[in-house]
Every structure is written in structure tokens, then in C-alpha cells.
Amino acid sequence: MNDRSIYPLGKRRTLIVLAGTLLGMLVASLNQTLAATAMPIIVEELGGLDHYSWVFSAYVLGATVSIPLYGKLSDLYGRRPLFLAAILLFSAGSIVSGLASSMEQLVAGRTVQGIGAGGLVPIGIAVIGDIIAPRERGRWQAVNGTVFAASAVGGPTLGGWIADNASWRLAFFVSLPLAVLALVVVWFGFGRRERGVRRRVDYPGAILLTLGTGAGLVAASSGGVDYPWTSPAILLTLGASALLLAAFFAWERHAPEPLVPLQLLRGRTIATAETALFALGAATFGTVTFVPLFVQGVLRESATSAGAVITPLMLSWIGAGAVAGQVVARTGRPRPVLLAGPPLIAAGFVLLALMGTDASVGDAIIGVSVLGAGVGLMMQTLVVVVQNAAPQELMGAATASAQFSRWLGAALGVTLMGAVVAARLGNPSSAAASPAELAAAIHPAFLLAVGTAVLAGVATILLPDTKLRKRFDATEIALAARAR
């Protein structure tokens, strides 16, 4: 582990930096699984089922619009200050959510949480890209997996127990001690970056991207639910989104320090990998959002049982990811592993769509386990593919671009699936919907999600058969030392 061409920071420093990044990522992932399991009870107390997807959409919206800015700023000023800011923002959002007395306050808190999460995972993954050579990163997916395993096993179970036996507000507070610990490790463990040449931040690009993406996601969330799709409000919002995004891409072509370096997207490797990540984002968030609702609303099981369904989803995801990492590390070729993912994702969603009111928790576990295995083979592998194709000086922007694609897919997936469910129900409260009505509303959402597997499959077929680099060169080693 002391080979500087593979681990530029050496053994001791690499482990300290990894500990800080993994703690920060754990804060976000644990809170998300806690909240997902408890959310049906939270929404029932604070509002109706028509607001259900907004609680998730607000979180995803906050993360999506902030990811590119985090990536670019971390390339300019180092990972440490941005990672610390992300932890503080996520913690503030958790406090607001936990103290919420209305749906509006909960949505506001979830938005702030999302803005924090927009930095925690992408910067954490960028840090790993800085300090471990591409091919060797596969072996460390098992270490990454421990973070998600802890949230997968502990989060749903604890979230379900809290919802059944205590106040749901604890679901937002229990991760705060971890956030404090992450702050301490990052503060003292990460090095301070030396001041370099002062560079401009692309604030016009950030504003255009935030407004354009935000308008599009709001329209997707409200269309067919709050307003008809053909209403002037939705059409005008979609039109504004298209114009703002067109202006963003036009600006980025000539910006001195572009928020999203467009040269990253011109290569087929990054473009196809990010398309697949977009599809995976829709698939995973759609599952985490609507499977607990099905288990509690249709099968009439407890929140604890709903958490027991999410746990095997995450465990199969982690297990498949660890296998994929080992295979890729030994062969250096990610494409064969990636091609196995989409058929499993499609099969999982079909199994979920076939569940009726007479289904069991075991049926749901089989469906999510198959789906999770497909996602696990692809998710981290695609990120490594993107990082391998990007120049080291743009590692933060490239990683953020990959995560932006994933979160954008998550946002559109959750909002469109939520619109389908709400439209089929006619916006009744969760208590008013019978199991049969709720099942009939959720089934089309699961079938819609099969399309995400098709999109991921097409993108993977088009992905070039690249070989991952085994070592950093001298310039990349120097950049890794500066990135902290």
C-alpha cells in the first residue's frame, strides 16, 4: 500500500482521509434510509398522500442543483472546506426536518438536507478518485460497502422501530452525533490546501443551471398532480426550464472557468456512462420511495416490516458491488460486469409489479434483492469508468457530473412515479386509499421503472470497452497531494 503510484498519500494518510470521507457519506446514507422507512407515517401525520413524493423530490432537488457547484469549487479550493460545509448544511436540514410541524416545514428541511447531500457523496467519491488509482479502486468498493451496509442494515430497521415505537422526529436526529464525529475527523485529518492562483467561480453558470434544473423538476413534480400536464402553469415552467438550460450550455461553451467542462461530455465513454447512471438513479430512488409505501399501505405491514424489505435491497446491492469491484480490479475491464446489470434490474421491477394484495413480504424481498444486485453491479463501476476517463485536474467536476446525472435521474424518476401514483388515486389521503386501490396505483409506477433498465442497457451496450489505468503518473500524484 506504500506504492505512491497507486496510493499517492501513503498508508497512514490514505486511511485517515478515507475515514473522514466514509463518515460523511454514512451521515447522508443512514439518514436517507431512516427517513425512507418512516416516511409513510410522517406524511400521514403532517399531510396527505398527494404530498408523499414531494418530501423525496425536495431532497433530490436540493442535491441535484448543488452537485455541480460542489464539484467545481472542490477542484478550485480543495475538498476539505466544501466537505465541511456539506456536513453542516445536512445537519441543519436534519434539525429543521425533525422539528417540522407542517408539511411545508418538512419539505424545507428536506431541501436543505439535499443541498448538504449534494456535496457529501460526490466529494467523498472524488476524494477516493484522488488518492487511489482507478483499477485499484475496485478493491476498495468493499470498504465503501461497509458504509452502505451499516445504513442498509441499521437504517431501515431503526427507522421502522422509531416509526412504530417512538416519535418519527428521532429519524432525523439520530445521525447528528455521526455528523459531529465526521466534522472532527475531516477538520483534523484532511490537510489544508496551499493558496494558489485565484480563479473565478462560474456563478452565472451556477444560477442558470440551478434555475433551469429546478424549474424542470418542479414541473415534473406538479404535472398531473397539482396541475394538468397541459395547463399554462406547467407548460410555461417547462418552457422556462428549456430556455434556461439552453442558455446554460451556451454560456458554458465560452465561460473562463465553466461549472461543467463540456469537454468531459464530448467523449463517448463519459456520455454513455452518465446516461446509465441517470437510469440507475431513477431505478434506485423509485424503489426506496415506493416499496415501503406498498408494504405498509397494500400489505398492511408495520414500518419495521417495510424496513426489513429495504435491507435486502441494500445488501444485495453491496454484495454485487463488492463482486464487481474484485472482478474489475483483476481484469481491468468493467464492461462485461456492467452488461449483467440491466437484465437483473428489469426482472426485479417486473417481480414488484406482479405483486398484488395477496403478496407477502417475502415476495417483495425477492423482487428488491434481484433489482439491488443489478444496481450493485453497475453503480460504483460506472463512477470508476467516468473517473478513469477524466483528467486528474477535473476529478471533482467529473465525479460531480456523474453524480448529477444519477440525482437528476432520481429526481425525474421519483416525481414521475409519484405523479403516476397520485393521478391513479385522485389524490386521496393515504388512510382513505384501500389496499387494492393503492396496489393498482403503484403497479404502473413499477412498470414505468422497467424503462430505466432498458435505458441503462442501451447505454451500456454503447459504452466503449475501455481498460482501467493501474497507476497514477507523476503529475497525478502531485495533484492528489494538493487536492486535500
pLDDT, one tens digit per residue, over 281-325 is 888 877 777 888 888 888 888 777 776 787 788 788 888 888 888
Q: Which residues pair with 223 in a beta bridge?
A: 227
pLDDT of residue 198: 57
The two most distant CA atoms of the chain are separated, in Å, by 65
How far apart (Å, rounded) are the C-alpha atoms in residues 406 and 399? 11
Point out which residues pair with 447 in neighbouring strands. none
Distances in Å between the alpha carbon of 144 and those of 23, 147, 465, 472?
10, 6, 25, 21
Specify the residue for cell string 450550455.
249
Whole-number pLDDT of residue 288: 74
Instruction: Give residue for cell 400536464.
Output: 229
Separation between Cα atoms, residue 273 and residue 379, nearest integer Å = 10
Residue of 415, 420, 50, 51 lying closest to 216 (CA atoms): 415
Per-residue confidence (pLDDT) for residue 272, from 0 to 100: 93
**What is the dihedral sign for C-alpha 77, 275, 52, 171?**
negative
What Å distances lie between residue 427 and 14, 56, 160, 445, CA to CA?
Answer: 51, 17, 25, 15
Q: What contacts 31, CB < 8 A, 6 or more positions away? A: 90, 94, 113, 155, 171, 172, 175
Using one digit for the tens of pLDDT, what is the confidence trace for 99-148? 988 888 888 898 999 899 888 878 887 787 777 776 666 666 556 666 66
CA angle 43–421–66, rounded 5-degree value: 65
**Residue 278 pLDDT:** 92
Which whole-number Å values give the CA distances from 190 to 15, 26, 68, 184, 482, in the listed order?
11, 17, 22, 10, 11
Q: What angle do CA 158, 82, 109 make, to 5 degrees?
A: 45
Contact predicate 38/170, CB 8 Å: no
Q: What pLDDT sits at residue 174?
A: 84
Those residues with Cβ within 8 angstroms of residue 105's Cβ, 6 or more apart along the chain or in another chain: 96, 99
Give residues with Cβ within 8 angstroms of 231, minimum separation 6. none
Alpha helices in 332-434 (DSSP H): 335-339, 341-353, 361-389, 395-425
In the chain, which residues have pLDDT < 70?
Answer: 1-7, 9, 47-53, 134-154, 156, 191-199, 224-225, 307, 426-433, 469-484
pTM of the model: 0.75
pLDDT of residue 429: 45
Contacts of 404 (CB under 8 A, 6+ apart): 64, 67, 68, 71, 122, 260
pLDDT for 471 equals 61
pLDDT score for 152:
60
Alpha helix (H) ranges present in 99-229? Answer: 103-131, 134-137, 141-165, 170-173, 176-189, 203-222
Main-chain dihedrals φ then ψ at residue 167, nearest 5 degrees: -75, 135
pLDDT at 469: 67
| pLDDT for the residue 449 | 87
Determine the pLDDT at residue 86. 92
Predicted confidence at residue 150, as pLDDT, reads 66
Q: What is the Cα–Cα distance from 116 to 88, expressed in whole angstroms?
A: 7
Cα–Cα distance measured from residue 185 to residue 26, given in angstroms and rounded to the nearest whole number: 13
Cα–Cα distance, 466 to 203 (Å, whole number)? 35
